[in-house]
């Protein structure tokens, strides 16, 4: 598991254009080494940008949340592994995870199981037809991800401590919905500060809007890194 804040901070490039993303990456320079690319940027040419970022020495977390029939998931994972990505998400359904793990064998791609989206609360989960509350569903999927041989889990920092007990010390535990003290929660419902999340057992923190939408993104990133380093030093 990584030890420095720079290794653990993943900046979410949730931006409308490649030009916007390039500007943020240039602004953050060597202070940030890990970036997340999701749907918004992928559908604006982000896959080629992801390849270029990886070739430049950055770590790239491709947040595609794959879910399909086993063969389709496997073929997608095989090609994503060839792109030089560091992390890839898929929904934590047992069959999909098993197919992805088999397809990623021999590569350095860390597969992450998405448990319950941090924008969802108990009523949202009920409305989606699940019989479990968010916490119970997260823990169930964490157990299934570990059994499938996944590289890690994505969950809210609120569940990090409980999930860490299930998955052990070696799997990655990636938490979005990170908000520095006083920051706007936006559409996130289950959030924590960076230091709280690390103390709870998270290995990597995904931070998007508090950095990329800040008036001074580099200063915002440095403040979060400082808070994370302080937590790691304790």
Residue ranges for the binding site for substrate?
14, 36, 63-72, 118, 179, 188, 208-209
98 noted as active-site residue: no
Q: Is 68 a catalytic residue?
A: yes
User: Out of 65, 124, 189, 199, which one is annotated catalytic?
Assistant: 65
Binding residues: 14, 36, 63-72, 118, 179, 188, 208-209
Catalytic member of 7, 20, 68, 124: 68
Q: Parallel, antiparallel, or unpaired for β 9-12 and 87-91? A: unpaired
Distance CA 97, CA 126 (A): 24
* Residue 208: strand, helix, or coil: coil
**Catalytic site includes residue 65:** yes
Helix 134-148 and helix 94-104, axial crossing angle in degrees, nearest 10: 30
One-character DSSP codes across 48-89 = HHHHHHHHTT-EEEEEEEE-S-HHHHHHHHHHHHHTT-SEEE
Q: Please name the residue that has the structure tokens 């990623």.
A: 104
Residues serving a catalytic function are 63, 65, 68
């Amino acid at each position: 598991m990584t030890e420095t804040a720079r290794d653990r901070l993943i900046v979410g490039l949730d931006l409308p254009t490649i030009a916007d993303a390039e500007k943020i990456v240039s602004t953050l320079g060597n202070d940030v080494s890990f970036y997340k690319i999701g749907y918004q940027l992928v559908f604006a040419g982000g896959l080629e940008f992801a390849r270029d970022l990886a070739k430049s020495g950055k770590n790239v977390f491709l947040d595609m949340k794959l879910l399909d029939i086993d063969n389709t998931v496997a073929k997608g994972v095989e090609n994503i592994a060839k792109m030089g990505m560091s992390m890839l998400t898929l929904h934590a359904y047992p069959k999909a995870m098993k197919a992805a793990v088999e397809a990623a064998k021999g590569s350095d791609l860390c597969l992450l199981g998405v448990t319950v989206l941090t924008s969802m609360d108990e009523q949202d989960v009920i409305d989606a037809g699940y019989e479990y509350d968010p916490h119970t569903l997260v823990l169930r999927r964490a157990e299934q991800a570990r059994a499938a041989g996944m590289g890690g889990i994505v969950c809210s920092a609120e569940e990090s401590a409980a999930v860490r007990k299930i998955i052990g010390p070696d799997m990655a535990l990636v938490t979005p919905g990170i908000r520095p003290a006083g920051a706007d929660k936006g559409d996130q419902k289950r959030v924590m500060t960076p230091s709280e999340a690390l103390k709870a057992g998270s290995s990597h923190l995904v931070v998007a809007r508090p950095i990329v939408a800040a008036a001074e993104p580099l200063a915002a990133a440095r403040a979060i890194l400082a808070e994370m380093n302080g937590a790691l030093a304790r």
